[in-house]
Amino acid sequence: MIDSVKIRRQSTLDFYSHYEFLCAVQGSVPLKTVKANVNQGILELNADRLKAPDWAPLLNAIRHNKTLTSVVIRSFHQLGLGESGADRPKTYFRRRIPAIRSKDMTTQLCKAIRGCLNISSALKNLELEGLLLRERDLIFLTKGLAKTSSLESMSLAHCPIGDGGLEIICQSVRNSANIKSINFTGCNLTWRGAEHLANVLKHQAMKRHGEAWAESLRYRRPDLDCMAGLRRITLNCNTLVGDRGARAFAECLGEDLWLKALDMQQCGISNDGAKSLLDAFQTNTTLVILDVRKNPLVDHTLMKKLIERVLMNGNSASSEYKWLTSPASKDVLKPKSKKRTIVLGSGRKGKATIRIGLASKKPIHPGKSPSDKDTYSPKPLPPGAYGFLPWRTAERAKRCRGFPVDGTQELPLKFQQTGIPVKVTVESASASETEETEGTLGDIMHDPDLTESLVKTNVRRYQQLRTELEECLLKLKEERKARVKADERIMELEVENARLRNLNFSLSEVLHAQSVTNMILEDEGVLGSIETSFQKFHAFLDLLKDAG
């Protein structure tokens, strides 16, 4: 057997070994990101980090692969404003454009994925996010999607395919028996794209009704969950879908028994579209997720009714379908407390490091000394907290004589005037440098003038930070007021935009009707037929006149 044929057959059994062979033939080094999750059958890449020579062996390995279960390729590159022409500033530095942004590279990628979909029976998840896919690329993907027998989930999030590209994809999705979930988040879709997807649901519903009727013969109960077809559609961040797109979905959802989840966050839906979706729940009892959050034109009461109706449907359903997290809902990161580290000395043999943390439970005000009855917690306060004193005299933590030099020792120490217990940790890298710094530390600890000046400096610094904090709070309050005004203005502009959009749509329909009328009147064949009919009518009148 020819060696190339043997290698090609082996590549279908081991993706990474074939990829390594192709890299060796090319004389390049295999990428670590390819090997990261390949043992789990997952290929996940950031396409922006791959150079042009790295793509050739990778695409060839993908084309002949049969073992990967998930292929995830993402691109986060965005062209900045003013990067073309005379708008570039003098200090402009040209950023490197990733190789995946070229037309030829995306075409080769789609061809490789088409080959993998044609021969693979293990690939279940395909995610191409943030790529500039042209019409030709989508045609290659469609040919692969039409022949795949295992793909269940597909995502083209943030790929600006538009309504035309979605129509091409829908040609293969509508006849697919395996694809259950599709994601078109941020794909520049309008209400026309929503109508394309609604037509896909209607087409699949016709087939499913036929299958359900066949299974219901002889008093059998059809299993609707086992039937093929779409189960989840995600259209988030497509603001031009609007009410017309929502009505298109509402029409098919009223009689649909199979779709489980529909995500429409930030789709420009107002109360009209939400009401049409709510009316669909009078007959629909299978939809368990209908996410219309982040649509500010929908009233709070209507949103509450819609969510309540969805939750009623989801009470008896399985937990397979989850609500997607909102992009804006992020957990607030809490700052972690850190010990303050001061490094003393810069000798050849090492550095003496001193970590200091204040261990007071109650806040200590400058100028006041705590009483004997006050108790303090050993837990240190982080820098910047109320009651923390910014120590800058760590040299006062003199190393106790008699302890071993190597290792780390904790020295109990009290501030000379305030009596605040301080926990000092000294880490020494060598014994000789510790002996050199002992004299200096002892002199600083027993100098009362320096201690008093440091206390005054700390008080002055504390007052300065308190003043800055008050100023920041005032600025924050003003910014919050400005934010509220800006949100109100945005709401007004969105309402006005919706009104203008409806007006534009009505005008376009009127213009279309006028253009059709003008075309009919300008057609010579139509005018000739009218003239012929008038002549026949006059001839008939002449016959009647001759007959008396």
Q: What is the CA angle 16-18-21, rounded to 5?
A: 110
Q: What share of the chain is helix, strand, coil (3-state, %, to 5)?
A: 50, 10, 40
Q: Is the pLDDT assigned to residue 13 strictly greater than 90? A: no
pLDDT at 449: 67
pLDDT in tens, 84-124: 444 455 444 456 889 999 999 999 999 999 999 999 999 99
CA dist 324 → 159, 231, 261 (Å): 19, 15, 10
- C-alpha 312/C-alpha 310 separation (Å) is 5
pLDDT above 90 covers a percentage of the chain that reads 45
- C-beta atoms surrounding 433 within 10 Å: 19
Q: Give the residue-averaged pLDDT of 264-277.
A: 95
Please report which confidence band the pLDDT of residue 206 belongs to, taking 50, 70 and 90 as the band edges. Answer: confident
The residues near 254 (Cβ < 8 Å, ≥ 6 apart) are 279, 280, 282, 283, 284
Question: Within 13 A of 124's CA, how many CA atoms are on the CB side?
Answer: 5
Distance (Å, whole) CA 408 – CA 53: 52
Which pair of tokens denotes residue 89?
């500033």
Tell me the C-alpha to C-alpha distance, in Å, between residue 523 and each of 478, 518, 528.
Answer: 66, 9, 9
Dist. CA 405–CA 529, nearest whole Å: 114
- Residue 412 has a pLDDT of 43
Residue 441's contacts (CB-CB under 8 Å, 6 or more residues apart) are 395, 396, 397, 398, 399
pTM: 0.59
Q: Give residue 383's pLDDT.
A: 58
Residue 252 pLDDT grade (very low, low, confident, very high; cuts 50, 70, 90)? very high
Confidence of residue 193 (pLDDT cuts 50, 70, 90): very high
Per-residue pLDDT at 224 exceeds 80? no
pLDDT value for 4? 61
pLDDT digits over 462-513, tens only? 888 989 999 999 999 999 999 999 989 998 998 999 899 888 888 888 888 8
The H or E element spanning position 203 is: helix 191-215
Give me the CATH code for the 3-78+97-241+257-263+284-291+302-316 domain, please: 3.80.10.10
Q: Which residue has the tokens 């005037």?
A: 417
**Cα(125)–Cα(127) distance, rounded to whole angstroms?**
7
The pLDDT of residue 272 is above 80? yes
Residue 354's DSSP bridge partners are 342, 426
Which residue shows structure tokens 């309540």? 308
Higher pLDDT residue, 5 or 340?
5
CA–CA separation, 504 vs 80, rounded Å? 31
**pLDDT band for position 546 (cuts 50, 70, 90):** confident
Q: Report which secondary-structure segment, H or E, holds 45.
A: strand 42-46
Q: Which two tokens stand for residue 185?
A: 């988040």
pLDDT over threshold 90, residue 406 = no
Is the pLDDT score of 382 beyond 50?
yes
**Candidate ranges 8-12, 274-278, 335-339; pick with highest mean pLDDT:** 274-278
Query: Cα–Cα distance between 80 and 95 in angstroms, integer?
Result: 10
Pick 34 or 214 by higher pLDDT. 34
3-state secondary structure 305-354: HHHHHHHHHHHHCCCCCCCCCCCCCCCCCCCCCCCEEEEECCCCCCCEEE
Instruction: In whole angstroms, give the CA distance from residue 144 to residue 168.
Output: 13
Backbone conformation region of residue 157, classed left if phi is above 0, alpha if psi is from -120 to 50, else beta: beta
Cβ contact 421:359 at 8 Å: yes
Q: How confident is the model at residue 159 (pLDDT cuts 50, 70, 90)?
A: very high
User: Average pLDDT of the chain?
Assistant: 78
Q: How far is CA 159 from CA 127, 132, 230, 245, in A?
A: 11, 6, 21, 20
* Total residues belonging to the chain: 548
| Percent residues over pLDDT 70 in the chain | 68
Report the C-alpha gap between 471 and 475 in whole angstroms. Answer: 6
- pLDDT computed for residue 544 by the predictor: 87
